[in-house]
């Protein structure tokens, strides 16, 4: 999960106290190496994660993470390595009684609870109870995604959740892969600070966590019709966005890549009151409008823009573009040039 942390607000004691609405960053990149363990321990590890920390091994100590605090779900992502992080019996007095799903995105990840240990491979995951002593150590690159949620968040979706702690979840588990992809949306999407949207996202994340852990018989039916469908639709939309320039983008090709039937993908779009074809066309037209308004693409012929958006027939492109925006592609480009020229004159 690589991202530009510099564009996020830095986590401060004041910001932490006020419960930030969006993602915030914490990084030791600019701190002297000898001061990093103390800074991490006193400011982030104890106050945010509820753990004590100490350096270990020959690896330099480093941390660069983001925190997204949603109602019912805390998302930690980034890199932490060169340290032993422990939830000691003394720290249990802070009253944290939650579960954390640790997802290893890169580097050996050793997690222990009680007398048990679990060494996670890349992409694998395991569940840990924060109400009991535990520890975790990560080797470089130390990339991880941690999802912390209240003890009762999954309700009846999972039976005997305590017994699932420290059981390995394989990287190839479909629900785990969907969960990892879906959480990226919550980490990067500003609209998820909105109450109703945020609650829906958190509910879907809980469903996917339950599915990855092994939902109960009753819970599996709920998960299948709620969280899994939302995550699958998001994954398909991401795929469409990456391949808009492919003229042969089809529901069949998507179904093959996502391991489902074409009819299943069509039903996903029907739940939003649209069709696959309508959605793809709308995305292609939006991309074309964006390119036509881009100053860096002024020299491109409209034919080239159409091809870059997956339109093989320029006449068809012109016709549907005019129907969508009430103007020809050439008119949109001319308007963008006029606005850019007027802006330049004002600046001078």
**Among candidate residues 99, 236, 86, the one with its CA nearest the CA of residue 162:** 99
Tokens of 91: 């720290």
- pLDDT over threshold 80, residue 16: no
Residue 62: CATH number of its domain: 2.60.120.10
Q: Are residues 237 and 276 in the same domain?
A: no
Asked whether 136 and 117 are in contact (CB, 8 A), the reply is: no
Q: Are residues 228 and 283 in the same domain?
A: no
Q: How far is CA 97 from the centre of its chain?
A: 24
The last residue of a domain, from among 242, 265, 294: 242
The last residue of a domain, from among 242, 260, 282: 242
Statement: the pTM of the whole predicted model exceeds 0.75? no
**What is the predicted pLDDT for the residue at 9?**
56
Where do we find the tokens 């990067």? 188
Q: Are residues 135 and 225 in the same domain?
A: yes
Q: Are residues 112 and 41 in the same domain?
A: yes
Distinct helix (H) and strand (E) counts, the chain = 12, 11
Identify the band that residue 346 occupies on the pLDDT scale cut at 50, 70 and 90: low
**What is the predicted pLDDT for the residue at 22?**
64
Q: Are residues 171 and 269 in the same domain?
A: no
Across the beta sheet with 134-138, the strand order is 52-55, 83-87, 134-138, 109-113, 116-120
Q: Are residues 104 and 180 in the same domain?
A: yes
Identify the band that residue 189 occupies on the pLDDT scale cut at 50, 70 and 90: low
Q: Are residues 177 and 266 in the same domain?
A: no
Q: How high does pLDDT run on average in the chain?
A: 84
Percent of the chain beyond pLDDT 90? Answer: 35
What would the mean pLDDT of 246-274 be, rounded to a whole number?
86
The last residue of a domain, from among 242, 274, 294: 242
Across the beta sheet with 62-70, the strand order is 24-27, 62-70, 73-81, 143-150, 98-106, 125-129
Q: Are residues 124 and 210 in the same domain?
A: yes
User: CA-CA distance, 119 to 346, in Å (whole number)?
Assistant: 61
**What is the predicted pLDDT for the residue at 296?**
84
User: CA-CA distance, 49 to 256, in Å (whole number)?
Assistant: 40
Report how many domains make up the chain. Answer: 2
Q: What is the pLDDT of residues 304-337, one digit of tens each?
A: 999 999 999 999 999 999 999 999 999 999 888 8
**What is the predicted pLDDT for the residue at 13?**
46
Sequence-ordered alpha helix ranges (H) in 293-328 = 302-308, 314-325
Identify the band that residue 282 occupies on the pLDDT scale cut at 50, 70 and 90: very high
Tokens of 205: 């994340």
Q: Are residues 24 and 59 in the same domain?
A: yes
Which residues form the domain of 47? 5-242
Sequence-ordered alpha helix ranges (H) in the chain = 13-17, 36-39, 174-188, 195-213, 217-225, 227-242, 251-258, 262-270, 276-292, 302-308, 314-325, 329-347
Q: Are residues 237 and 268 in the same domain?
A: no
- pLDDT over threshold 60, residue 120: yes
Asked whether 111 and 102 are in contact (CB, 8 A), the reply is: yes
- pLDDT over threshold 90, residue 38: no
Where do we find the tokens 């080239």? 304
Q: Are residues 135 and 262 in the same domain?
A: no
Identify the DSSP state of 193.
G
Identify the band that residue 107 occupies on the pLDDT scale cut at 50, 70 and 90: very high
Higher pLDDT, 46 or 14: 46
Residue 271: CATH number of its domain: 1.10.10.60
Q: Are residues 139 and 271 in the same domain?
A: no
Half-sphere CA count of 128, side-chain side, radius 13 A:
27
Q: What is the pLDDT of residues 51-80, one digit of tens each?
A: 888 887 777 888 888 888 888 999 999 998
């Amino acid at each position: 999960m690589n991202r530009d942390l510099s564009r996020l607000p830095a986590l401060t004691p004041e910001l932490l106290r006020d419960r930030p609405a969006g993602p915030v960053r914490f990084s030791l990149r600019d701190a002297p190496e000898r001061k990093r363990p103390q800074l991490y321990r006193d400011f982030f590890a104890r106050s945010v994660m509820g753990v004590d920390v100490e350096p270990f091994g020959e690896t330099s100590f480093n941390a660069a993470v983001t925190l997204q605090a949603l109602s019912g779900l805390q998302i930690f992502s980034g890199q932490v390595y060169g340290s032993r992080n422990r939830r000691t019996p003394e720290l249990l007095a802070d009253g944290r009684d939650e579960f954390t799903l640790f997802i290893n995105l890169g580097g050996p990840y050793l997690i222990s609870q009680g007398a048990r240990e679990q060494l996670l491979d890349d992409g694998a995951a395991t569940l840990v109870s924060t109400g009991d002593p535990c520890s975790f150590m990560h080797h470089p690159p130390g990339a991880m995604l941690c999802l912390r949620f209240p003890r009762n968040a999954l309700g009846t979706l999972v039976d005997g959740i305590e017994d699932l702690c420290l059981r390995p979840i394989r990287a190839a588990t479909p629900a785990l892969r969907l969960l990892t992809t879906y959480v990226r949306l919550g980490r990067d999407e500003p609209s998820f600070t909105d109450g109703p949207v945020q609650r829906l996202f958190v509910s879907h994340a809980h469903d996917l966590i339950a599915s990855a852990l092994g939902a109960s018989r009753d819970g599996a039916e709920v998960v299948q019709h709620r969280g899994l469908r939302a995550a699958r639709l998001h994954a398909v939309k991401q795929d469409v966005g990456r391949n808009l320039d492919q003229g042969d983008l089809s529901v069949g090709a998507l179904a093959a890549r996502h391991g489902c039937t074409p009819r299943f993908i069509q039903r996903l779009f029907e739940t939003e009151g649209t069709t696959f074809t309508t959605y793809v066309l709308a995305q292609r037209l939006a991309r074309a409008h964006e390119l036509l308004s881009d100053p860096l693409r002024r020299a491109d012929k409209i034919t080239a823009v159409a091809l870059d958006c997956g339109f093989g027939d320029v006449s068809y492109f012109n016709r549907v573009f005019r129907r969508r925006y009430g103007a020809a592609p050439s008119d949109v480009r001319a308007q963008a040039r006029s606005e850019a020229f007027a802006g330049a004159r004002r600046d001078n």
